[in-house]
Structure 1
Amino acid sequence: MAETTSSAAPLTPEQSRALFDILTHHETYKEIQDFKFPGAIYSYGPPFQDDVNSSQSPILQSLLAKFILKLPGLRDVSEEFWRGRVENLIQDLADAELSESYDKGILGIRKTLATAIAALIEYPARGALGGFPKQPNIDHDRTYDVANPDDVLQSWRDCIQQIVYGDLIDELFAKAAETDNLDSHPPVVQAMHEFLVVNLASIMHYTLVLSPEGPTLLRMIESVHHLIPYMLVRQTLKVGNVATMLSGIMRIVLAKASVASVTNWIGLSSGADEGMNLLQQIISQVLSWDKRDLRKRADKIEKEHHAPPKEVREELKSWIQRSRAEHDETRRQSQEQNMSIVAVILSLSSVSVEMTEQQHSKALEYLSLHLAVRDRQEIVRVLCKRNPDILTAAIRDAVDAYTPIIRHIHQAVNLSDSLWDLEQFLTDMLKISKPSGPKGQEKTPSVEAFVDLLHRHQGSLHKFLHQVAKNGKEVTSWFKEYSHTAASMFRNHEKPPPSESVVSDKIVTGGLQAELTKTFAELPEKEKEVVKQELEAHGKYIDDLHAASAARISAVIKRNHATPFGPGAYLARWQHLMDKTPITPASAHGPVRSGANKSVKEESRKDVDGGEGGLSEDQAQKAVGDKMPVPPQSETTLKCFAEKFRHALATG
């Protein structure tokens, strides 16, 4: 009888928090994954459609409606910007069917970025859906020391409370108008600033140094950086007349100079390819360099002693061009039968050859290289060679909407100097992000190096914000009003400001918790017990995450080099999403691998030229080790709540 009473007891606040954490984490990543399928954008809701009764992406749509659509400038874009431009671009990229990490045998850039975005935005999602709890008492007389990790951590909590429930936003804007000196701000703000610097440095370090695709991302950023005509843009920004300045910038970035653009304009032709503007040329050029190097590696494989037979290579290239349905079926059979993607492709074809283990390994690499080449071709086709060119049209729409803001900022700030500051920051960032030292003894860039980078350049940002706040009173008032609106979205059990969110107000003011409580009460007793056990384990995982993050931020601030990676609970969540990604077996017959597999990480870390980019996997493993907490299993919880959770968000 006592056991029945215990199992029938409602969820404790800690268990409810763990349940909400599991569901928002799962739902956010699922919604991001769904965008690889064609048609997902057509069931999104505002600003793309007004007549959607049940959004397939309630969390993403809610964040867009509450925070992005209300941004000064972006709130004034035309309806055509969303429905005629952005919607079509998203659909075109989904139709392109960019390759899966499973097929390539590596963790690609898209997977790295998708998991990173999901791990980050689930935090504001939880705040906007569940509210940020109000603390009854804040010690306003407390002193804060930026060199004391405990003070830095506490300052973040206190500042968030004062931003959401107090008047810190007004104080920040007022002080920014007075000075660009951080030391003039209250100690709590200085400590909070240090918290932000350390966490931002942590994200940069993990993305560019420790993640498997870090070297590739770094190389792409460097290529774009070298192609941007900074000097020409800076000279144009010095023009005093705003209209003339904007016209000049638009000519530099968006103008197309080709015979087709002229004949289309005067009516001698219609729909002819007008070529590419500077932005599209940069995208195309950077990706073409990648394609060239990838093809070189593929050609090298064809000439090797252990190269897969020609008929195998031709069948693999043929498979890449086939339908999405056939790709999905091949992937399904590979996972069910524990066969590599190459082995399944060949088993479904007329090709009948026996390959050695080395030939099979080369065939997997050959397939991966050609998939990567096709991805880059499709991205260039959608963004740079589409006719009509909706990317250029979207940028023009955005510039038109932001013209009033640009006019005010142009009058308040020396934009040419600001662009110079940005160029110097990127140059410095690229320099410190690469390992230094002799080959084989390279020294890994540390989190502290990125903290120092941000400290060196923070004055440029402070100067820019001060000039805007001091000289651009009107534009400053727009952003202050927006900041108050955004902060009010996180107030606990208070009706949020009106927005186009598909998630109803009753859901975010306690209705969601009530729905989850009701669902739990209706579960069979056996499942209740299992769910509670999973929630208890997940609650401990959350505590471990925050404790580990606090220890890392302490190590970075104290400069004792005791941690190889920075703070942030999101890093562990991001790493886990990558680690659990399914990857094709390495041999013709073998178990399906995951992103956590050492061989997968080693292949993912290779630069496009075939060499190791940045850290070796052994170096990365030494850096990260097994120190990140791993979430416990939550299958029963998801089975019982995931669909109810999504339905409640989507329909209210």
Structure 2
Amino acid sequence: MAASDLSPATLSPEQTSTLFDILTHHETYREIEGFKQPGAIHAYGPPFQDNRSSTDSPVLQALLAKFVLQLPGLRDVSPSFWKTQVADLIDELCEAELSESYDKGVLGIRKTLATAVSALIEYPARGSLGAFPEKQERKRREYDTKNSDDVLQAWQDCLQEIVYGNLIEELFSKAAVTDDLEQHAGIVRGMHEFVVVNLASFMHYTLVLSPEGPALLRMIGSVHGLLPYSVIRQTLKVGNVATMISGVMRIMLAKVSVSAVTNWMGLSSGADEGMNLLQQIISQVLGWEKRELKSRATKIEKAKDGPPKAVLKELNDWIATRSRAEHEEARRQSKEQGHSIVTIILALSSQPTELSEKQHAQALEYLTLTLGVRDRQEIIRVLCSRNPDHLTVAIRDGVDAYTPMIRDVHQAVNLSDTVWDFERFLTDMLKISKPQGKKGEEKPPAVEDFVDLLHRHQSSSHKFIHQVCKNSKPLVEMWKAYVNTAAAQFRADAKAPTSSSLIPDSASPPRQLSEAFSHLSSEDQKAVSSEISAYTTYLRDLHAASATRIGSIIRREYSAPFGPGAYLARWQQLMDTTAVTPATPKGEVRFGSSKSVRDEARTDVDGETAGDGKEVKAMDEAEDSTPKMPDVTKTIELLGDRFREILGGS
């Protein structure tokens, strides 16, 4: 129904749903972005502070309270786990002021992960805050997993049965009987195929198409090569649970140094105890990258035709000695004046700004490399070199809370085999994530390759679930209760289970948004209605395009540039709209969608281009085939703050 068919002060149910969609998408990302500011965690609320009645992050706080804090095991951690260890780690990472994509001229791993998380969690946020509507008639039928329409229908029917039916009980009961997927009901097999295709799509997009895919693969591969799988597997075979847990903890967390011993004996206090194995892996992987980046920066410093030494020193000083406010001011001037960040940094100093085109490009690369080096140094400092060591204490607290569950799992499942299954899966994933074929004719992996990967290894997870459900009734009852409680958060016909969420129980965001719209001026209502109408069309096109892609993948056509999932388009939109410094001394601000930004992002730490350009071409094709999100600036401007108030935000 078009907006013009209604009174300006009235929104149809579809328009209200669209408005809610727009504002949850914007609010979720705003909250995630806000965590780069120091002190953000201190305005969060439970579990980090108990005495707050409002929060600066209502969506994230609600999701944490309703789903994460209710998790078996995690709900039993000590209060200091959240209030001290986790809170301090988050705060210190914020205070470290890790680099911005704007300054580096590329979308880094942090931006890629932040946008990915935002695009994913906005869906449960929308479902739990706005309720999942119940269909009056729910009928099961036969579902063909080779038919995309059946797979999509099975997913929709499965959601209804989980939230409003008895499918949860059925799933647990059947899993206790068999680990064979074919023995489950058709609705479950169809839902399983939907999950496999979408998970494969996410993996393909993250590891192959996204600009930071090569960096993520390299990092995963490095960690995979350093983990002592064989030692861990042998330790997991120990029959006594206490001895087994102690052994694994010693392998991963023990610090063997003179300082560790003297601190423990009381002969010293606060001395650096060195790193445990987990921290050594983090430090070593980031250290390798740091050395490569530093090596490339050194080549620029030594280049005879490179930027003057004084210019490079000024860039170093800007990174190391200028305040956060000065960094933000430089970005503001760069965007407003249409000058690169390098030009602005030099203009704010006593250094001349006249650089040749080549020198400017080298100076910008030097800034990118130096920021990358500093980022890795800061992450290592916070996670690996901090005293007291919050990371190690947090892990120990978590293991203590999960010890009863670990004991039950150890008795129910062969954990050594589980680790072996995981190792084989990771090895296989790293192998297929690389271009395949003869040299010079390599092709990047397709979504179908990741679907095959998950199909090859799905029996491992089925076996694990079956063994737990068959051999440990306490675990089954515990997790069944949790899943039922989580599902109840989405019900529209009952009050949600109690939690520490700061969103008022009386809050009904869609209804209150409709009321807020009715209080706008006639002119503002027309502007918002127009944007809602365009966004409604966008959502329809988005889901239609996703349905087309899932059909192509299930039919194994190898023609879809990327996989299904409307969240992928939302994720890409967040990355595409990320501002990046101009590449030339004077020029337009670039964005994540710019070809030059994507090309630079696929440059490996050693300076070599990752891939042969086909991944960038595939991403361009994906861009062309994806509906473009319309401008909703006016809607956010007029109703964004009111939406936050409705959610209980400060």
Give TM class, smaller chain: over 0.9
Inter-partner Cα distance in structure 2 for 1:356 and 1:641: 47
- The one-character-per-residue Cα deviations of 1:319-359 (angstroms, maximum 9, x if unpaired) are 00121111111111111111100000000111125210111
Inter-partner Cα distance in structure 2 for 1:388 and 1:286: 22
Question: SS at 1:445's partner residue?
Answer: coil
Inter-partner Cα distance in structure 2 for 1:293 and 1:55: 42
Match of 1:365 in 2: 365
Give 1:268 shift: 1.1
What TM-score comes out, normalization by structure 2 length? 0.98
Give matches, 1:216-227, under 5 Å. Answer: 216-227=215-226
Inter-partner Cα distance in structure 1 for 2:272 and 2:73: 31
Give matches, 1:270-419, under 5 Å. Answer: 270-321=269-320, 322-352=322-352, 354-419=354-419
- Number of residue pairs matched? 646
Structure 2: unaligned runs, 5 residues or longer? none
State which of 540, 545, 559 in structure 2 corresponds to 1:562: 559
Give 1:623 shift: 4.5
Match of 1:584 in 2: 581
State which of 553, 559, 564 in structure 1 corresponds to 2:550: 553
Give 1:493 shift: 4.6
- The one-character-per-residue Cα deviations of 1:250-305 (angstroms, maximum 9, x if unpaired) are 00000000010011111111000000000000000000000011011111222335
Inter-partner Cα distance in structure 1 for 2:533 and 2:439: 48
- The one-character-per-residue Cα deviations of 1:77-110 (angstroms, maximum 9, x if unpaired) are 0001000100000000000000000000000000
Give 1:367 shift: 0.2
Match of 1:86 in 2: 86
Inter-partner Cα distance in structure 1 for 2:308 and 2:234: 56
Conserved? CA contact 2:72–2:482, under 8 Å: yes
Match of 1:205 in 2: 204
- 1:282 corresponds to which letter in structure 2? I
1:103–1:183 Cα change, 3 Å: same
Give 1:309 shift: 1.0
- The one-character-per-residue Cα deviations of 1:152-192 (angstroms, maximum 9, x if unpaired) are 00000000000000000000000000000000001110111
1:340–1:290 Cα change, 3 Å: same
Inter-partner Cα distance in structure 1 for 2:633 and 2:493: 30
Match of 1:641 in 2: 639
Give 1:9 shift: 4.3
Inter-partner Cα distance in structure 2 for 1:514 and 1:406: 44
Match of 2:625 in 1: 627
- The one-character-per-residue Cα deviations of 1:552-571 (angstroms, maximum 9, x if unpaired) are 00000001122121100000
1:131–1:353 Cα change, 3 Å: closer
Inter-partner Cα distance in structure 1 for 2:616 and 2:237: 49
Inter-partner Cα distance in structure 2 for 1:127 and 1:621: 30
Inter-partner Cα distance in structure 2 for 1:651 and 1:353: 45
Give 1:52 shift: 1.4
Conserved? CA contact 2:143–2:151, under 8 Å: yes
Match of 2:187 in 1: 188
Inter-partner Cα distance in structure 2 for 1:174 and 1:78: 33
Conserved? CA contact 2:28–2:59, under 8 Å: yes
Bigger mean CA offset, 6-15 vs 309-318: 6-15
Inter-partner Cα distance in structure 1 for 2:397 and 2:454: 33
- Please state if 1:67 is matched with 2:67: yes
Inter-partner Cα distance in structure 2 for 1:353 and 1:336: 18
Match of 1:544 in 2: 541
Inter-partner Cα distance in structure 1 for 2:542 and 2:612: 25
Conserved? CA contact 2:9–2:522, under 8 Å: no
Inter-partner Cα distance in structure 1 for 2:610 and 2:266: 50
1:23–1:353 Cα change, 3 Å: closer
Conserved? CA contact 1:209–1:615, under 8 Å: no
- 2:230 corresponds to which letter in structure 1? M
Match of 1:249 in 2: 248
- Please state if 1:523 is matched with 2:520: yes
Inter-partner Cα distance in structure 1 for 2:586 and 2:264: 58
Conserved? CA contact 1:77–1:401, under 8 Å: yes
Inter-partner Cα distance in structure 2 for 1:11 and 1:440: 57
Conserved? CA contact 2:9–2:525, under 8 Å: no
Match of 1:239 in 2: 238
Give 1:439 shift: 4.6
1:618–1:45 Cα change, 3 Å: closer
Conserved? CA contact 2:143–2:190, under 8 Å: yes
What TM-score comes out, normalization by structure 1 length? 0.98
Inter-partner Cα distance in structure 2 for 1:527 and 1:614: 48
1:270–1:89 Cα change, 3 Å: same
- Please state if 1:612 is matched with 2:616: no
Percent identity over the alignment is: 62
Give 1:436 shift: 1.9
Match of 1:147 in 2: 146
Conserved? CA contact 2:9–2:517, under 8 Å: no
Give 1:50 shift: 1.0
Inter-partner Cα distance in structure 1 for 2:512 and 2:472: 47
Match of 1:214 in 2: 213
- The one-character-per-residue Cα deviations of 1:177-216 (angstroms, maximum 9, x if unpaired) are 0000000001110111000000000000000000000000
Give 1:440 shift: 4.2
Structure 1: unaligned runs, 5 residues or longer? none
Give matches, 1:380-529, under 5 Å. Answer: 380-507=380-507, 511-529=508-526
Conserved? CA contact 2:339–2:584, under 8 Å: yes
Match of 2:20 in 1: 20
Inter-partner Cα distance in structure 2 for 1:513 and 1:618: 39
1:424–1:259 Cα change, 3 Å: same
Inter-partner Cα distance in structure 1 for 2:352 and 2:551: 60
Conserved? CA contact 1:11–1:517, under 8 Å: yes
Give matches, 1:18-57, under 5 Å. Answer: 18-57=18-57
Inter-partner Cα distance in structure 1 for 2:407 and 2:4: 68
Bigger mean CA offset, 391-400 vs 325-334: 325-334
Inter-partner Cα distance in structure 2 for 1:94 and 1:615: 36
Question: SS at 1:626's partner residue?
Answer: helix
Conserved? CA contact 2:65–2:499, under 8 Å: yes
- Please state if 1:96 is matched with 2:96: yes
Inter-partner Cα distance in structure 2 for 1:4 and 1:429: 51
Inter-partner Cα distance in structure 1 for 2:51 and 2:353: 54
Give 1:8 shift: 2.9
CA RMSD of aligned residues (A): 1.3
